[in-house]
Amino acid sequence: MRTLPQSLWCLIHATLAVSAQELLTLNTLYSLSFSSQSSDPTFSLPQAQQLTVSVAICSSGITSPAFLVTNNTASTSTTDVFEIPLHNGFGNWTGTTLQGGSLVVQNVAQASFQVAASTGDLVHELLPALPLLGDTTNTQTLIFSSPISPIELSPSTYPNYTLPPANLSIPSPPSSPPSFSLVIAPTSSGLASGLQTACSINSTSSSGSVLSNDLWLRDNHGWRSQWLVDDLTPSTNYTAYVIQDQVKLSGPIYFTTKSPSFSCPLVHSLPFCPSTSYAVPLPTPQSPATSYNSSTLPQTVSDPLLQYMTNFTTMLLTFPCGRDLYSPLQTCESCQEAYRAWLCSVSFPRCAEPPSSSSSPSSPTPALTTPQSGMNARNPYLPNVTYSYQTVLPCLEVCSAADRACPNFLGIKCPVPRFNAASSYGVGYIDQGEQGVLGGGSTGAAQDRWGNVWCNSG
């Protein structure tokens, strides 16, 4: 943010003297569009101890608009005038306007923009948290917004010590959640190279058809808006953004739809496995369903998993969880949560495809199994399928997390990386791949914002 030279300030001061000014009401979004303008539009700023003015360009002509703020209209000092610097189409100014102030917009021909004034949070911004890709099929994708309303858990206390049931009871969603919208476009459209403002991205026609959009609690980080999108083009690179409350932008993330022959359907919205949101080797869902959720997943698949979870919880509660400590860092709740993540990741193998030939040669190779069909070796309760598929192995760190979190008497043991761990787990992606060394893997995560998935984290 910089002050202006004396000559430019004199021009602005003359503009303020002759232009009619509209008062910017606090916490009100103004959307403006100009095809031609004889004079620069000006706006009066409300008086405030600390005022934030935020602007976002929705579209512009050859030249981009310039936004100039003065926080003392009676002064002729150049130190009272500031230009709002723009980055990717949006910017903000924060300062004191005890004597009032004005906002002048220059070069507005053929431009549209938004402006807002507030004394609290920033109105226009690029959110630091990214959307989350669940997975894709050949024509579908499952995408989540960044989390909102984190869940605050209150551990049980002795003697009334209980753990969540095998089939989790999803709490009530927040009463007034933000408004979310999803925009998807082929990466070849250059969406990520243009203006990075919510109003600019929102004007783009989104690809695909939204089959469902609801709030889902994947984990304790908070609720997310969940979209199931269909009618995408196979083997195509896409860019996705999430817009919050029409003014805050999250993204971009990138993903690629699978090849036309990919046959595994998506599985999602399972209360007993809330983080499961990917393609699983199952038969084609019975019409009209195009994916599996808790109401369409066969009981022959869910019942054994629920029984495993129930039995494990019963064994865990033989330890006096609410009275004694087996670890200064872990509790019975964290043990059950880590075991659930492991159980879901091995019970629902994640279908995958080899990376395309255009992938970077320096990029790690996913932990893929060889092609298979028929009965699934990892979970014999999954129905036989007639098509051929590959899966990406569970991350070894998922098993290690359960080993670290649970009491020793439960006997949880994970395979050792230097022996046979790589035959059943993805080794060296999140963990370092050395015995007793946690973290520091080659990717540091199970997947990234570019749609790469190296192992299944559950």
Average pLDDT estimate for 335-341: 96
The answer to whether 41 and 105 have CB atoms below 8 angstroms apart is: yes
Instruction: Indicate whether 112 and 176 sit together in one domain.
Output: no
Tell whether 197 is covered by a domain. Answer: yes
Paired residues of 419 in beta bridges: none
Tell whether 448 is covered by a domain. Answer: no
What angle is formed at CA 278 by the lines to CA 243 and CA 263, rounded to 5 degrees?
A: 120
At 279, the pLDDT band (50, 70, 90 cuts) reads very high
At residue 18, does pLDDT exceed 50?
Answer: no
For 108, the domain range is 2-124
DSSP character string of 212-264: EEEEEEEETTEEEEEEEEE-PPTT-EEEEEEEETTTEEEEEEEEEPPPTT--P
Where residue 21 sits, what CATH number does that domain have? Answer: 2.60.120.380
Instruction: Indicate whether 201 and 324 sit together in one domain.
Output: yes
Residue 204 CB-density burial (10 A; 0-12 exposed, 13-18 middle, 19+ buried): middle
- Residues 6+ away with beta carbon under 8 Å from 120: 27, 52
Tell whether 432 is covered by a domain. Answer: no
Instruction: Indicate whether 18 and 140 sit together in one domain.
Output: no
At 73, the pLDDT band (50, 70, 90 cuts) reads low
Average pLDDT estimate for 302-308: 97
- State which H helix or E strand residue 68 sits in: strand 66-70
Which of 124, 153, 183 represents a domain boundary (last residue)?
Answer: 124
Which of 91, 124, 157 represents a domain boundary (last residue)?
Answer: 124
At residue 169, does pLDDT exceed 60?
Answer: yes
- Residues 6+ away with beta carbon under 8 Å from 209: 229, 230, 231
pTM, 2 dp: 0.89
Instruction: Indicate whether 18 and 85 sit together in one domain.
Output: yes
Instruction: Indicate whether 60 and 196 sit together in one domain.
Output: no
CA-to-CA distance for 76 and 59, rounded, in angstroms?
A: 33
pLDDT (0 to 100) of residue 98: 87
Instruction: Indicate whether 393 and 373 sit together in one domain.
Output: yes
Q: To 10 degrees, the CA torsion angle through 313, 316, 321, 326?
A: -140
Tell whether 163 is covered by a domain. Answer: yes
Helices 332-347 & 299-316 angle (0-180, nearest 10): 150
Instruction: Indicate whether 341 and 419 sit together in one domain.
Output: yes
Instruction: Indicate whether 94 and 176 sit together in one domain.
Output: no
Which of 95, 124, 153 represents a domain boundary (last residue)?
Answer: 124
- Which among 256, 127, 123, 279 is positioned nearest to 184, based on CA atoms? 256
Tell whether 417 is covered by a domain. Answer: yes
Instruction: Indicate whether 247 and 395 sit together in one domain.
Output: yes
Give residue-wise pLDDT tens across range 354-371: 987 666 666 789 999 999
Q: Side by side, which strands form the sheet with 125-126?
A: 125-126, 248-256, 237-244, 180-186
- Which among 365, 368, 375, 374 is positioned nearest to 390, based on CA atoms? 368
Residue 290 CB-density burial (10 A; 0-12 exposed, 13-18 middle, 19+ buried): middle
Q: Residue 73: how many CB atoms within 10 A of its CB?
A: 19
At residue 318, does pLDDT exceed 50?
Answer: yes
Give the residue carrying structure tokens 């908070």. Answer: 222
At residue 258, does pLDDT exceed 70?
Answer: yes
Q: Residue 371: how many CB atoms within 10 A of its CB?
A: 11
Instruction: Indicate whether 306 and 379 sit together in one domain.
Output: yes
What average pLDDT does the chain have? 88
- For residue 135, the SS3 value is strand
Tell whether 436 is covered by a domain. Answer: no
Give residue-wise pLDDT tens across range 377-394: 788 999 999 999 999 999
Count of structural domains, the chain: 2
Tell whether 346 is covered by a domain. Answer: yes
Instruction: Indicate whether 137 and 115 sit together in one domain.
Output: no
Tell whether 457 is covered by a domain. Answer: no
Give residue-wise pLDDT tens across range 136-146: 999 999 999 99
Q: To 10 degrees, the CA torsion angle through 168, 174, 179, 184?
A: -10
CA-to-CA distance for 140 and 266, rounded, in angstroms?
A: 8
Instruction: Indicate whether 136 and 120 sit together in one domain.
Output: no
